[in-house]
Amino acid sequence: MELKVIAYARNGHTDKFGIPRQSREESPILTRIVFEPEFRVAEALRGIEGYSHLWLIWGFDKVESQKSRAESDSWSPTVRPPRLGGNKRMGVFATRSPFRPNPIGLSSVRLVGIEDGDLIVSGADVLDGTPIYDIKPYLSFSDSHEDAKNGFAEEHKDRRLEVDWYDNGLGLPRDTKDALTYLLAQDPRPGYQEDPEREYKMDYAGWNVTFTVHAQEVHVKKVQKIQK
């Protein structure tokens, strides 16, 4: 089976650190789905404006590029989910880990609009430049299950931190600050790191943010424009 890349995702996530761990309905971050010339056909989107949400099927291309040739032919039946502290193994098919037999991701996103032949969506948990293999409409009457169980992910689903900028965000564009506040509140650190003195750095939309986390609060230490 050969998959064709039909589009690429474009957003402010230029580094894997800080990307939301799941697609989220309430995310303020917009992603532009830019179609490849072969698929940049208006008729292919006919009727899509009637849907509020879409499924994106995409590839963990950065995971594949980091593998050696020997590793690309093997897979592990268990992985260490970061939210479990990185020291407990779970079955790969019981997680959404990027390290899978086939590096394919699935995200439910909100359709914000269509602009110059591109789709504008919110809530995507993908890196800038992520290849998109397919797009399908989300159907609330079949894709939503009120009695669904969330396994070991249940206890982490609503965790949010308070974000204190200490006036360090004064030079940021309003939408960029809103996006960074959202990302920092989700606690982008690996689940096994709890050192309140450790400084972390995160890139987003051309800005680098240095921060620490103490208890349930993010302390922004520095904000710098990334020099190209």
**To the nearest whole number, what is the mean pLDDT of the chain?**
89
Secondary structure letter of residue 162 according to DSSP? E
Share of the chain above pLDDT 70, in %: 92
34-71 as b/e: b if 16+ CB within 10 A: ebeeeeeeeeebeeeeeeebbbbebbbbeeeeeeeeee
pTM: 0.87
CA dihedral 115, 119, 125, 128 (to 10 degrees): -60
CB atoms within 10 A of CB 202: 19
Pairing between strand 30-35 and 7-10? Answer: antiparallel
Highest mean pLDDT among 16-25, 64-73, 156-165, 166-175: 166-175
Q: Which CATH architecture describes the domain 159-225?
A: 2-Layer Sandwich (3.30)
Work out the angle at residue 180's Cα, subtended by the Cα atoms of residues 173 and 208, and round it to the nearest 5 degrees.
80
What is the per-residue pLDDT for 69? 45
Phi-psi region of 129 (alpha: psi -120 to 50; beta: other; left: phi over 0): left
**Calpha distance 107→133 (Å, rounded):** 12
Per-residue confidence at 156, pLDDT binned at 50, 70, 90?
Answer: low
Q: Is the pLDDT of residue 152 over 70?
A: yes
Highest mean pLDDT among 11-20, 53-62, 68-77: 53-62
Of 32-46, 63-77, 194-208, which range is least confident?
A: 63-77
Give the tens place of pLDDT for each residue, 108-147.
Answer: 999 999 999 999 999 999 999 999 999 999 999 999 998 9
The CATH class that applies to domain 7-143 reads mainly beta
In the chain, where the domains are located: 7-143, 159-225
Amino acid sitting at position 173: P
